[in-house]
């Protein structure tokens, strides 16, 4: 068994890793850290939750000096949430090395961020748009950068940051180490890597392993009018800690209002919600104050939240890769998870495409959805606490667990106690 010490990591960083509860390196860390410590460029295919932040964080801390006036390392990330998460982990990892790190992103005042940079910092974790803004103001000095990381590179390209990335990287010294991490390796990603790197090493970590090994996958067919009641039935199953994906910001807002009106503890995140509110909702979800997080793909990208019981695709993904990214939020850290997708009849072909992409069947979850009346709408986005949850007089269906303890499937029962499932899940779509 490979240890962190075997990877020639300094004792200060290993000590921090132990304090963080890291017992042994992940496959991507075993493969990538030795290459990175040699100063070589690399691009690695790895999902969220595989230890990639710890990978490039270790490389950065080992290869840059501490206490320099201008930043020595630049980490580019697609979203505000990921910037905060990377900053949090980098700060913990640097606990005994003394390196400083700041998160920089849009949606908040640029002045205080510029002031932090002027005071001096070793590592900058920044979204491309805000990096460009600060560069245009001459507040972000990239002349001393020796290590550049592109995290979630595929998502940055999907979000239209290609021009911004090229502009930013053109201002970084050519003599640098470049590290690129992406969940997928499309031709565009490889082109970016080859254009910005020197003889990069390629590291491939099984793209499906973090997602599929511990995640039970199901689908439900429903028409548009029945989707909300279908979701409520799913959420009533053992009151799971769930992330619900929707296509649009408007849909997220509408659905969250409905769930709150039904007395679910729910919160919403998308790009138009103020940053401080997004951070507050994510904290509430992490600490259990809310059980349901309703999100767009962009807002949820890169979220690293432990113990997510269930992912629900309220709106079907546009493509199989999006499906893989979504359900990667559950079935992690050795804990079994569940993914349920609600498909419209006209979206049936997407089920076959996903099965082809993952190489695994998605089972039909046979449930009887109980219609419920329109809720009484209240204030939309006040995060509700547990005291506001449904009481004993609720008219929701009672839920019980069926199946073996080793592979549970949660199935609802009607108020009369009759089974609402149609027996065993049926494999594959016909």
Share of the chain above pLDDT 90, in %: 55
Alpha helical stretches, state H, 288-379: 297-300, 320-327, 348-358
Count Cβ atoms below 10 Å from residue 289 Cβ, excluding itself.
Answer: 16
240: nearest Cα among 362, 331, 354: 331
- Ranges of each domain in the chain: 5-204, 209-412
The pLDDT of residue 63 is above 90 = yes
Cβ atoms < 10 Å from Cβ of 359: 8
Sequence-distant (6+) residues with CB within 8 A of 362 are 217, 218, 219, 341, 351, 354, 355, 428, 429
More confident site: 398 or 121: 121
Residue 118's contacts (CB-CB under 8 Å, 6 or more residues apart) are: 139
HEC string of 362-402?
CEECCECCCCCCCCCCCCCCCCCCHHHCCCCCCCCCCEEEE
Given a cut of 50, is residue 385 above it in pLDDT? no
Q: Exposed, middle or buried: residue 64 (CB in 10 Å: 0-12, 13-18, 19+)? A: buried
Superfamily per CATH, domain 209-412 = P-loop containing nucleotide triphosphate hydrolases (3.40.50.300)
> Around Cβ 286, how many Cβ atoms within 10 Å?
17
Q: Cβ-count burial of 254 within 10 angstroms (0-12 exposed, 13-18 middle, 19+ buried)?
A: middle
Q: Report the candidate in 356, 301, 299 with the shortest Cα–Cα distance to residue 107.
A: 299
* Cβ–Cβ under 8 Å, residues 111 and 62: no
89: tokens are: 């982990």
**Quick check: 316 pLDDT over 80?**
yes
What phi and psi values does residue 350 have, to the nearest 5 degrees?
A: -60, -30
Where does residue 192 rank: exposed (0-12), middle (13-18), buried (19+ CB within 10 A)? buried
Asked whether residue 371 carries a pLDDT value surpassing 90, the answer given is no
Mean predicted lDDT score pLDDT of the chain: 83
Q: pLDDT, tens digit, for every residue of 322-357? A: 888 788 777 665 567 889 999 999 999 999 998 888
Q: What is the pLDDT of residues 170-208, one digit of tens each?
A: 999 999 999 999 887 788 888 888 888 999 999 887 544
- The stretch 404-415 carries a mean pLDDT of 34
Report DSSP state, residue 421: B
**Contact yes or no for 68/60 (Cβ under 8 A):** no
Strand pairing category for 292-295 and 266-269: parallel
CATH architecture of the domain with range 5-204: 3-Layer(aba) Sandwich (3.40)
CA distances (Å), origin 21, targets 33, 93, 181, 293: 19, 11, 23, 26
Other beta carbons within 10 angstroms of residue 113's beta carbon come to 22
The pLDDT value recorded for residue 398 is 36
- This prediction's pTM: 0.61
C-alpha torsion sign, points 415, 417, 422, 425: positive
Strands of 15-58, DSSP E: 42-45
Helix (H, G, I), strand (E, B) or coil at 93: helix
Residue with the two structure tokens 């649009």: 248
């Amino acid at each position: 068994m490979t240890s962190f010490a075997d990877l020639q990591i300094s004792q200060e960083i290993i000590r921090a890793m132990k304090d963080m509860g890291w017992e042994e390196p992940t496959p991507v860390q075993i493969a990538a850290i030795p290459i990175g410590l040699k100063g070589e460029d690399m691009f690695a295919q790895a999902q969220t939750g595989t230890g990639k932040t710890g990978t490039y964080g270790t490389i950065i801390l080992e290869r840059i000096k501490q206490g320099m006036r201008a930043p020595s390392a630049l980490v580019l990330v697609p979203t505000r949430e990921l910037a905060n998460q990377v900053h949090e982990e980098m700060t913990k990892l640097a606990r005994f090395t003394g390196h400083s790190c700041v998160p920089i992103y849009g949606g908040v005042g640029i002045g205080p961020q510029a002031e932090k940079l002027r005071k001096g910092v070793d590592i900058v974790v920044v979204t491309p748009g805000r990096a460009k803004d600060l560069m245009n103001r001459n507040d972000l000095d990239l002349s001393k950068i020796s290590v550049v990381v592109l995290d979630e590179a595929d998502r940055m390209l999907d979000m239209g940051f290609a021009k911004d990335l090229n502009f930013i990287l053109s201002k970084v010294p050519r003599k640098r180490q470049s590290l690129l991490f992406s969940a997928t390796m499309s031709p565009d990603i490889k082109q970016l890597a080859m254009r910005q790197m020197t003889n990069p090493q390629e590291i491939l970590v099984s793209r499906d392993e973090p997602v599929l090994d511990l995640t039970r996958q199901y689908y439900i067919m429903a028409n548009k009018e029945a989707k909300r009641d279908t979701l409520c039935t799913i959420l009533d199953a053992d009151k799971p800690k769930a992330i619900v994906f929707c296509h649009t910001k408007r849909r997220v807002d509408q659905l969250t209002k409905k769930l709150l009106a039904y007395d679910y503890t729910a919160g919403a995140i998308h790009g138009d919600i103020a940053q401080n509110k997004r951070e507050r909702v994510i904290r509430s979800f992490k600490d259990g104050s809310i059980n349901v997080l309703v999100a767009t793909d962009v807002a949820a990208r890169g979220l690293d939240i432990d113990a997510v019981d269930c992912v629900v695709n309220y709106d079907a993904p546009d493509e199989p890769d999006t499906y893989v990214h979504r359900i990667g939020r559950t079935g992690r850290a050795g804990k079994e998870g569940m993914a349920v997708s609600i498909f419209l009849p006209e979206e049936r072909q997407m089920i076959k495409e996903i099965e082809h992409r993952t190489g695994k069947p998605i089972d039909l979850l046979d449930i009887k959805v109980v219609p419920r009346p329109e809720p009484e709408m209240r204030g939309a986005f006040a995060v509700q606490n547990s005291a506001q949850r449904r009481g004993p007089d609720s008219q929701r269906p009672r839920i019980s667990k069926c199946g073996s303890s080793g592979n549970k499937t949660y199935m609802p029962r009607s108020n009369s106690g009759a089974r609402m499932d149609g027996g065993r899940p049926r494999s594959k779509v016909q």
